[in-house]
Structure formats: C-alpha cells, structure tokens
Amino acid sequence: MLKLKKRTLIMALAAALAAPAALAPTAAMVCAAPATEVTESDAFADDFTTGKAEHFQPSDGWGNGSVFNCFWHKENVDFSNGDLELIIDQSPNPAADKYPYSGGEIRTKKTYGYGRYTCVMKAIKNDGVVSSFFTYTGPWDGDPWDEIDFEVLGKDTTKVQLNYFRNGKGGHEKLIDLGFDASEDFHTYTFDWLPGKIIWYVDGKEVFRRENEDLPVTKGKIMMNAWPGIGVDNWLKAFKDNNLPLVAEYKSVTYTPYKK
C-alpha cells in the first residue's frame, strides 16, 4: 500500500500534468514570477453570491488523468443557486471524455504570491471525493511545481488535510481535526503564505504552521476543485456514485498581498 505522502504526490503530479497545449485554459504560457513580486493592486475579493467570479475562469475540455477520474466541464461550475457550485456528476459523453464522470474546477486568471488567502466553503461528504482550495503552479506554466493546499476528503469531513509542494517535492501532509463537519455548513479556510512560513487557519483560529523549511517561492494560481478519485481507495476510499450529482459550495475567495 502506498504511504500517504506517496498517494498525495501521485495526486498532485496528475494536476501538474493537467492538459495538453491545445486544451489549456489559457493560450499564453507566461511563467509565474517569484512570490516576492506582489503589489497592493493584486488584492481582490470575489463574492460568489453575486453570481459571478471576476478573477476566475472554469477549467473546461480536458482531464488530468492518473487519480482524477473525471473530465473538467465548464457546465460543472454553476452560480445559479446563490453561490459557486463545483459539481461531480456522470460524464455527459463518456466515450468522448474517456472518463465516466465530470468534475468542476475553477482557477484565477492571474498568479499571486505572498499574502493571505481566504475561502468560505462547504465540502462534499461522500467516499472517494476531494473538495479543495489551493494555490498551484507547475511544469505546464513553465514553472517549478509549487503548491499550498486545503483538501477535505469526503470520507471524513470532520478533518482537513493540509499540504505543500516545493519544486515537486511533497510529503508534508497534516490531518487536522476540525471539531465540526465541513459538509454541514460554510466555514472559513485561510492560509498566510509568507517568506519562510505558511500558517493555516480555520474560522480565524490558527491550526498549523510550517517554518524554516524549503517552502514554495513561485507565484501560483488560486484554484478550487471537486473530483472523484480512482486507484487511491486506501487514501480516499472507493468512490460511491449512488448520490450524484455531488456539490461543493463556495461563497467567496479573497487575496490580500503581503506587506513587508
């Protein structure tokens, strides 16, 4: 059996290899800058209850492969019910998609560096799925693979998994007991990404930090996704599809750049 860090390494590697060039969400491949390159004008607050996401765009037209058992469709990103919904469902065309399921993912149009990242979300409770909020850049962007994660595993939504990758090296997972069920209501998930440290918070309370390690240093896109796994039953449990569609909900995302 794979150890947890190996399982998560496989998962994030799949994300790094996401899409062929012809299907990428942005045609222009601009390398992300060092995380130190931030300005006050980078700050934003997207309120998804308004029915739009000004700084984001949906992933559409490809699948990540590996442990991701879904094809990203823009139709799986929905604002019609008063917030942002990322939906896991049956594939509308499994023969063309080459996946049995469809998933929802959204990412910022720009990259962001050191600062405070906050998301208000309600996760999916269902074996075999992940609901997430994270930053990412990697080989597709011409960058080293740097990533910072909040991941709620649907098999046990009383916990959240924290992690980071620096230049493709992971294995920094930490499971945190939340003291509540993340699928029952909205909660606020925040991390401070600062020079030499990452600090994670839940509902304003610090829950974990990493300091004086080889931490991410490359600006990344802010992302959220909901997806079913395959081949990682010992990590996520086997995916149960008897309650489709499954919906992860998001009310807002804010970013505040770091000030020295």
User: Would you say the C-alpha torsion 103, 104, 109, 112 has a positive or negative sign?
Assistant: negative
φ/ψ of 12, rounded to 5, equals -75, -30
- The residues with which 170 forms a beta bridge, in sequence order, are none
Distance, in Å, from the CA atom of 146 to the CA atom of 137, rounded to the nearest integer, reads 6
Taking a C-beta distance cutoff of 8 angstroms, is the pair 136, 221 a contact? yes
- Tell me the C-alpha distance between 224 and 165, whole Å: 16
Buried b / exposed e along 40-58 (16+ C-beta atoms within 10 A): eebebebbbeeeebebbbb
Q: Give the residue carrying structure tokens 């994270």.
A: 134
| Residues designated as active site | 147, 151
**Whole-angstrom distance, CA of residue 191 vs CA of residue 107:** 17
